[in-house]
Amino acid sequence: MNTTFRHLTLTAVLGTAGLLASAGALAQSIVVASTTSTEQSGLFSFLLPEFKKASGIDVKVVALGTGQAIDMARRGDADVLFVHDKVAEEKFVADGFSAGRQEVMYNDFVLIGPKADPAKTKGDDIVAALKKIASSNTEFISRGDKSGTHAAELRFWKMADSEANKGTGYKECGCGMGPALNIGASSGGYVLSDRGTWLNFKNRADLAVLVEGDKRLFNQYGVMLVSAAKHPQVKTAEGQKFVDWVTGPAGQAAIASYKIGGEQLFFPNAAK
């Protein structure tokens, strides 16, 4: 074998090895379709470095309203779905897009509004509060984006018998949780928020928590591996590692340890 041929062969072998290494590196990453609340609360910025340390897998989070996140997973554009609308999640599973749903954690929704509370909503009854907002035509900022928070808000309006008449102050922004809170802060409107995003929200202006503690405000999160039977390109092994980690002892402990100002934002409940 002459020197030139040997050099070319070695170059080809090294090049192939490099390509295989690059392919391996690319395989060690997943896409998680999730909600704006898990991102804007700062939870993923806290969790994902811990998961990367444990697994070597990079996670790209695409944060959308829950409805949009579910649509993304249905198209096969995500490996894992991590959202908070149990009814929609169960339909996702029933339609064959995942083999099963696992509960991960919970927190609660809170009604945010101006400290002066012009609609007199303060207390622990979300339904009574919405009735007062509707009857007084006070400004209410709805996300209007088919998110888990928006779905919960619509359920509460229905309970208040105000589904069709939410008052003249009702406005839909079609936006995420953070932008909705920003609008509320600038206009003095009421906003239904998940507690995690509220605790991480810096631009509070004159806003405060006015309604909390109603058991109907419970906010459960679930995680699902997207079905490879529906979408063969799904990174099943890597995605399952994420699901196992976030519902396992290490991930659950990490969720419990995430706090802002000493206050815990999410409460792990996968084992339950």
Higher-scoring residue by pLDDT: 21, 74:
74
- Using CA of residue 6, residue 8, residue 14, residue 17, what is the dihedral sign? negative
Report residue 24's pLDDT band, with 50, 70 and 90 as the boundaries: very low
pLDDT tens for each residue of 26-60: 449 999 999 988 999 999 999 999 999 999 999 99
Q: Hey, where are the domains in the chain?
A: 29-106+219-268, 109-217
Mean pLDDT for the stretch of residues 78-103: 97
Distance, CA of 137 to chain centre: 30
Give me the CATH topology for the region 109-217: D-Maltodextrin-Binding Protein; domain 2 (3.40.190)
Q: What is the pTM of this model?
A: 0.85
Report residue 6's pLDDT band, with 50, 70 and 90 as the boundaries: very low
pLDDT tens for each residue of 189-201: 999 999 999 999 9
Domain 29-106+219-268 shares a fold with domain 109-217: yes
Asked whether 88 and 66 are in contact (CB, 8 A), the reply is yes
Spatial separation of the C-alpha atoms in residues 218 and 78, rounded to whole Å = 27
Asked whether 119 and 149 are in contact (CB, 8 A), the reply is no
In the predicted structure, residue 18 carries a pLDDT above the cut 70: no
Mean pLDDT for the stretch of residues 193-213: 95
pLDDT at 1: 52
Architecture in CATH of 29-106+219-268: 3-Layer(aba) Sandwich (3.40)
Distance, CA of 35 to chain centre: 3
Q: Which two tokens stand for residue 138?
A: 């006070």
